[in-house]
Amino acid sequence: MQIIDGKATAAQIKAEIAEEVERIVAGGGKRPHLAAILVGHDGGSETYVRNKVLACEACGFKSTLLRFEDDITEAELLAEVDQLNQDDDVDGFIVQLPLPRHISEQKVIEAIDYRKDVDGFHPINVGRMAIGLPCYISATPKGILELLKRYHVETSGKKCVILGRSNIVGKPMAQLMMQKQYGDATVTVCHSRSKDLKKECREADIIIAAIGQPDFVTADMVKEGVTVIDVGTTRVPDATKKSGFRLNGDVKYDEVAPKCAYITPVPGGVGPMTICMLMKNTLSAGKKEFFD
């Protein structure tokens, strides 16, 4: 069994990005600039955004954080998005989700210029991804593909079961694992209404668990030699931690890991790769790699 070390892989990729940025700047090019909009004071969002700003520093990017209270109106937020769309110094930007209930997340996502949508959430990027065109691929699925590639996990022709059908992970992951240029696998998507989910999992060569239910995948659900990618990051109370909680994956790691060829831990697996892939997308934005 080999543990897929997302933390070390992410650190290596960030170092590779930083090197490339210095080459670009030394050659007279522009330092990539990522902006982030954070609305309100959600604990998880604060942490994510802080880590994104730190990752920008590690990569040698310029970053700008725009903070607003949660009473900002939808119209005001849309005006902020438009300003970033118009700002030639900003290569890419994100609006951290979730947003307060009085603001339509979909409206905000669709207001972002798709050429600066480094989250890859805009329908143009989602659509281009689905038909295999150059685009920003959202960070979590992109990070999973990168881990599979860097650990030489064979995916072509393999049976891949994806647990979960969210827009951010399950759906794009299924699209990517299916496509010849990425996973080239036979893909099954299971969700809360799936019959015989256990049987589907037991036949899988690769399981990607993204349902947000702690310890959902148990040893009896997997075959020997499976590769397991755990996307779960549910906060569960833990009195031994200073924060009072720990992150729990969708996989019962201790009993599943011994049966695996490869497995990602939580934390330290998919999580660190997600921010790292946002950095990769920002580098692409700076280089105008996908769109002029």
Q: Rounded to the nearest whole angstrom, what is the least distance from the CB of residue 225 to ligand GUN in the complex?
A: 31
Closer CB to ligand GUN, 208 or 222, in the complex: 208
Footprint of ligand GUN on residues 8-67 (CB under 6 A)? none
Positions marked catalytic: 52, 96, 119
Closer CB to ligand GUN, 145 or 185, in the complex: 145
Residue 149, phi then psi, degrees to nearest 5: -65, -50
Among positions 13, 35, 94, 177, the unique one binding ligand GUN when judged by CB under 6 A? 94
CA 63 vs. chain centroid, Å, equals: 19
Stretch that binds ligand GUN, among 11-19, 94-102, 204-212, 232-240 (CB under 6 A): 94-102
Q: Is 95 in the site for ligand GUN (CB under 6 A)?
A: yes
How far is the CA of 72 from the CAs of 14, 81, 256, in angstroms?
34, 13, 45
Q: What is the DSSP letter of 4?
A: -
Q: Is 119 in the site for ligand GUN (CB under 6 A)?
A: yes
CA 168 vs. chain centroid, Å, equals: 8
Site string for ligand GUN, 120-159 (x = CB under 6 A): -------------------x--------------------
Instruction: Report yes or no: 290 and 284 within 8 Å, Cβ to Cβ.
Output: yes
CA 211, CA 202: separation in Å to the nearest integer? 17
Number of residues that bind ligand GUN (CB under 6 A): 6
Closest residue by Cα to residue 262 from 230, 220, 221? 230
Instruction: Report yes or no: 235 and 47 within 8 Å, Cβ to Cβ.
Output: no
CA 111, CA 106: separation in Å to the nearest integer? 9
Site string for ligand GUN, 184-213 (x = CB under 6 A): ------------------------------
Closer CB to ligand GUN, 3 or 247, in the complex: 247
- SS3 label, residue 3: strand
Which residues would be at the binding site for ligand GUN (CB under 6 A)?
94-97, 119, 139
